[in-house]
Amino acid sequence: MTLAAFWLGGEAALIAIAILMPAAFAMAGLYIRRARLDGLQRDPVSELPFRPEIIARTDDLLADGPTQSGMMASLALAIDEFSDLELQFGHTAASDILHTVAGRLRSVIRSSDLLGRLDGPRFIVVLTAATRADLESLIQMSVRLQHAVQEPIALDGTRIYVTSSIGFCTPKRRPGQSGAMLIEAAEQALDDAVSHGNGAIRAFSPDIQKRARSRGALSDQLPNALENDQIKPWFQPQISATTGEITGFEVLARWEHPESGLVPPSEFLTAAEELGLLERLGEVMLYKSLNALRAWDAEDILVPKISLNFSAEELRNPSIVDKIRWELDRFDIPPMRVSVEVLETVIAQSSSDTIIRNLRLLADLGFMIDLDDFGTGHASIANIKRFSVGRIKIDRSFVTQIDTDMEQQNIVSAILILAKRLELQTLAEGVETPAEHAILRQLGCDHLQGYGIARPMPFEQVAPWVKEHTAALLHRARSENQVESSHPAESLPLTGKTA
């Protein structure tokens, strides 16, 4: 504009425009707003602005009028199981993951959109002028963000796969006309997504807001829930990698809240630990699981074994072995039908003689000791023998993309070779696709568990699932026998005459 003024009116016009334009901008407050954006305090790890600055910038944009406000949406993203990644690879690697994810998110959004860092492994995206910000377009945007995040991350010669969960808020469902409310709505939707498992996407709704408000009261209700039959065991199948036959079920705690619905353990286990209720929770799970096992036996439902998770706090109890043995005698169930699952981090970090003693006693009685999340806690071979481990559960982070990533295959293959040399059984967690199943079977894994086989289910659904799964195996075996019988020459050994 100043150059045009000079061409049209000479020096006088140039000087007038050069003075009047900045004065008009200053009166409109544009310099103050720009300074606020340029002066954002940034997170040194992700190089992104923090929550207060993103809220302030969002408030500025909302103040521009109903046209701008009506096109703004928010998406909150969280890296799944980030604490496990930090334990497995260290704090420095975790920071590198955050930095890489931030860069990938920045490459997906437009330059006019806002990107910031929330608490922990969480990020916020504010779409400032979306031509379409309806449910469908935001789901598509969420999928694009997830695809950008899940590309392998190279750290010290190792490729790491991460997944993410996303919650978003559309302009029509925004609970209020402020940046804080827009961002909080996306976070509440994200909390709901996280509660439904890795990689979930959820949209904000009044129901989610209601559940978020009631979540704070769950801690106060937890003691009564334990005593009033609200917290129950759910069961996730484990099968043989080679035959597909059922080899057991892992027991997982679920809170069936009368008002809030199903509450996942991620929302109440921390509260149970803070309230000192982990031991009581373990007692409830043990009793109800053994009761379920006896009921299945009475109905001739094939459930060979159940696996129960025990915390370090429970295993430090000197009387835990007597309690477990007494419950087994009560239900007349032999110890070999129960596996005791212990996190690898417990074994890697524990020097408690009581824990060592209890696990050895349980192993001597015939219990299988499972080392859960193997590969995340850096347990030594000496500790594996020291704690009488009989089976290792390969963490899902090593199973993800094993059908397409040769490095993942090499890692799992090395684990399986180690287990074979140590005469340990193996179980792969997080199996989600037939291709992953096939590769693990080829590599020699003994057992499989994951959503690709079945999700955790309540007691009432176990018997129908077992019958359906058994029938499917029988049908497949008959089909294979028919194929073999129709080609008898292929199934007979070659003699000199036939050759």
Q: Over 90: is that where the pLDDT of 142 sits?
A: yes
Question: Cβ contacts of residue 438 below 8 Å, gap of 6+?
Answer: 403
Question: Cβ contacts of residue 332 below 8 Å, gap of 6+?
Answer: 294
Tokens of 259: 């008002």
Task: Count the neighbouring beta carbons within 10 Å of the beta carbon of residue 262.
Answer: 12
What is the C-alpha to C-alpha distance for residues 114 and 167, in angstroms, rounded to an integer?
A: 16
Greater confidence, 381 or 232? 232
Question: Cβ contacts of residue 218 below 8 Å, gap of 6+?
Answer: 255, 257, 260, 263, 267, 268, 271
User: What local confidence, expressed as pLDDT, does residue 304 receive?
Assistant: 94
Instruction: Supply the pTM of this predicted model.
Output: 0.63
User: What local confidence, expressed as pLDDT, does residue 296 receive?
Assistant: 95
User: What local confidence, expressed as pLDDT, does residue 499 receive?
Assistant: 31
pLDDT tens, residue by residue, 67-88: 555 678 999 999 998 887 887 7
Percent of the chain with pLDDT over 70: 87
Q: Which residues of 368-397 are buried (b: 16+ CB within 10 A; e: fewer)?
A: bbbbbbbbbbebeeebbeebbbbbbbbbbb
Q: Over 50: is that where the pLDDT of 155 sits?
A: yes
Tokens of 131: 């031509």
Tokens of 388: 């009488």
Helix axes 320-331, 353-365, angle to 10 degrees: 20
Helix axes 82-89, 91-108, angle to 10 degrees: 130
Question: Cβ contacts of residue 295 below 8 Å, gap of 6+?
Answer: 459
Greater confidence, 354 or 195? 354
Phi, psi dihedral angles at 64 (to 5 degrees): -70, -10
97 CA to centre of own chain: 16
* pLDDT confidence band for 488 (50 / 70 / 90): low
Secondary structure, 3-state, 446-475: CEECCCCCCCCECHHHHHHHHHHHHHHHHH
User: What local confidence, expressed as pLDDT, does residue 131 receive?
Assistant: 59
Q: Over 70: is that where the pLDDT of 213 sits?
A: no
pLDDT tens, residue by residue, 378-402: 666 777 877 888 999 998 888 988 9
CA Rg value for the chain: 29
Cβ atoms of 271 and 219 closer than 8 Å: yes
What is the C-alpha to C-alpha distance for residues 193 and 490, in angstroms, rounded to an integer?
A: 52
pLDDT tens, residue by residue, 248-297: 999 999 988 887 778 777 778 877 877 888 888 999 999 999 999 999 99
**β-strand partners of 164:** 79
Q: Over 70: is that where the pLDDT of 479 sits?
A: yes
The DSSP call for residue 495 is: P
Percent of the chain with pLDDT over 90: 41
User: What local confidence, expressed as pLDDT, does residue 143 receive?
Assistant: 93
User: What local confidence, expressed as pLDDT, does residue 206 receive?
Assistant: 76
Secondary structure, 3-state, 273-337: HHCCCHHHHHHHHHHHHHHHHHHHHHCCCCCCCEEEECCHHHHCCCCHHHHHHHHHHHHCCCHHH
Q: What is the mean pLDDT of residues 95-117?
A: 92
The DSSP call for residue 427 is: E
Strand arrangement of the beta sheet that strand 122-127 belongs to: 114-117, 122-127, 73-79, 164-169, 201-203
Question: Cβ contacts of residue 251 below 8 Å, gap of 6+?
Answer: 233, 234, 235, 285, 289, 306, 307, 308, 309
Cβ atoms of 160 and 137 closer than 8 Å: no
Question: Cβ contacts of residue 215 below 8 Å, gap of 6+?
Answer: 191, 260, 267
